[in-house]
Structure 1
């Protein structure tokens, strides 16, 4: 298997696990990635319009190559990609292990690890970790490891545009089709793309909480739905995990994340209706003992800040305007930790971000150096 194909397979597998479309891919009628548990259903799948030229099909011990009928690229793998525990390899070049969320705190990470919520206990542990991060700023160490990818993000409260049959499919040992091994059944191998999309829409519409399909066979909707509704910030929590993994790859370990347990600026903890509280697209401010950073999620950029610029940026992210920042600073002027914030400094931060084409809030801030 050549380097270009193995790189493409890696991107598609990450997409298949998470539900996020592969980078640079636009979801279409056919799936971008399909994983089969049994190659006996490969023929039926390739004979349907649920796959096409943009599709990677991973099938156990299949011969690598392009299917002449559908145009899909077929890639063989060994092991298991669908079980809650196990190992898999693709072309003796790409190796993955899969484990339940509940056992992950006690397992060694030996390489790329897919972590699945495979039942109620796993889901409860996921929620407990999320609650601890939100209230105390304490993130589960395994969850922020760059080696880990948590599966089925839409089922856990993340907003994942594009998740669905146009991005991923899973075919189980009985030929049942869903978007994930833990997902509600959408149909059978060989069903049309239109039928699978229709089932996806119908099953999602039956719940008041988005993401009902991805975990529906593992966690009852009467359990999952209320838990997600009670935690409108879960999408931001999952985005924070992405941030922390990224920072670890840059050698930045154990930073504090604004809005999770505490704020950098005294007094912001008690602000009701903070603009960055729940929004997964809002930039993140985080800091260590000597440095501060802002991660602009949509742009995929990280900036290193001086302390004063970081404080102003955090106030803008939380309060949303230069006027609100001035009012907050005036109210807390007696607090020696707050420092002095004047309008010129706030406008400078806003102008810096605007010059980079980045809007942090309806108004916008920025910093100093891209990391």
Structure 2
């Protein structure tokens, strides 16, 4: 249940889900439209349908699983419960800094003011390295990530649908209308593609009903690093579950190696697929996107890793260290040491990669 709800809120396909034309998760605001939905091919055996006060069970016609809930999953402020299994609250982004987190919390951008606050927090994190505390809480899920600049290739009617009180269908409560309950999956997918293509930045649908595209699109385009920022929030939430709090993150207001912040064209600047390096006063950590493992490194290995992520190759690291010994404070770097760092990650099935080229050990 939690896996499907996280997917429906964020737009990321459920972990382990097999894609198809039908939606993985559907939330209805009014059970009056349940029969129309179940009679369409927009749902199927892989679909979880959440409907108010519905009787739990599998629909004989579509094969979809129907589960009832109480409260509201669509409002920007409110609470919802699903049986005795899951309780969650929803709130606007703008009020989240002032609210206590009492459990799983869905944070939504519900309009222009929320969007401005989201951008201000992202800009501050990028420039100064400070992250708004609620955004890195493990209890929080920020909604509609593709509209906020994240790379979410699976978002769309094949991952999530929302049916409002009038029977209108979108991917989220704040999204542009794709059709009506009962419409075929092909029509919903076609509307998704058409509406998204109208926006220059991608992600035009999920917030299109509450945020004009002429406001959202240019703001996202001016910040090509938003995808990496949102991926960093995921990393920091994960670290908190492991008891690691308030680390500094390379590229967000800080570099571990002095002088690297002045390098133009750093390869890890915008790419959300580039590995992340962060550190506390006594330890350093690396996370490779798509890998649940977090690697703990010694200080020297962490410095070399950061240079690799910024510069892109063992040759560039050695040349940089030799030419900037005064700035780095560490003197020249032995090529063999750099190769050992690369081999460390490669041997563990998590090779360092940052944009292009792929970083590989040559020995």
Query: Taking structure 2 as the reference length, what is the TM-score of the superposition?
Result: 0.97
Moved more, 109-118 or 205-214: 205-214
Q: Which residue of 2 aligns with 1:275?
A: 267
Q: CA RMSD in A?
A: 1.1
Shift in CA distance, 246/365, structure 1 to aligned 2, threshold 3 Å:
farther
Q: Is the 8 A contact 2:321 2:328 kept in 1?
A: no
Shift in CA distance, 206/350, structure 1 to aligned 2, threshold 3 Å:
same
Mapped partners of 1:290, 1:29: distance in 2 = 49
Q: Which runs of 5+ in 1 are unaligned?
A: 1-8, 367-371
Q: Which residue of 1 aligns with 2:333?
A: 341
Mapped partners of 1:321, 1:16: distance in 2 = 39
Q: Deviations over 1:246-285 (max 9, x none)?
A: 0000000000000000100011001111101000011100
Q: Would you say 1:163 and 2:155 are equivalent positions?
A: yes
Q: Which residue of 2 aligns with 1:149?
A: 141
Shift in CA distance, 316/77, structure 1 to aligned 2, threshold 3 Å:
same
Mapped partners of 1:102, 1:338: distance in 2 = 44
2:55 is paired with a residue of what secondary structure?
Answer: coil
1:88 is paired with a residue of what secondary structure?
Answer: strand
Q: Which residue of 2 aligns with 1:369?
A: none
1:170 is paired with a residue of what secondary structure?
Answer: strand
Give the alignment partner of residue 175 of structure 2, picking from 183, 188, 194: 183
Q: Would you say 1:211 and 2:203 are equivalent positions?
A: yes
- Matching of residues 83-232 of structure 1 within 5 Å: 83-232=75-224
How many pairs does the alignment contain? 358
1:334 is paired with a residue of what secondary structure?
Answer: helix
Q: Which residue of 1 aligns with 2:31?
A: 39
Extract structure 1 runs of 4+ deviating beyond 6 A.
none
Mapped partners of 1:66, 1:84: distance in 2 = 29
- Matching of residues 248-263 of structure 1 within 5 Å: 248-263=240-255
Mapped partners of 2:317, 2:48: distance in 1 = 50
Q: Would you say 1:359 and 2:336 are equivalent positions?
A: no
2:352 is paired with a residue of what secondary structure?
Answer: coil
1:196 is paired with a residue of what secondary structure?
Answer: helix
Q: Would you say 1:74 and 2:66 are equivalent positions?
A: yes
Q: Deviations over 1:148-183 (max 9, x none)?
A: 000000000000011000000000011000000010
Mapped partners of 1:148, 1:115: distance in 2 = 7
2:270 is paired with a residue of what secondary structure?
Answer: coil
Q: Is the 8 A contact 1:15 1:22 kept in 2?
A: yes
Q: Would you say 1:324 and 2:324 are equivalent positions?
A: no
Q: Deviations over 1:266-317 (max 9, x none)?
A: 1100111110100001110000000000011122221000000000000000
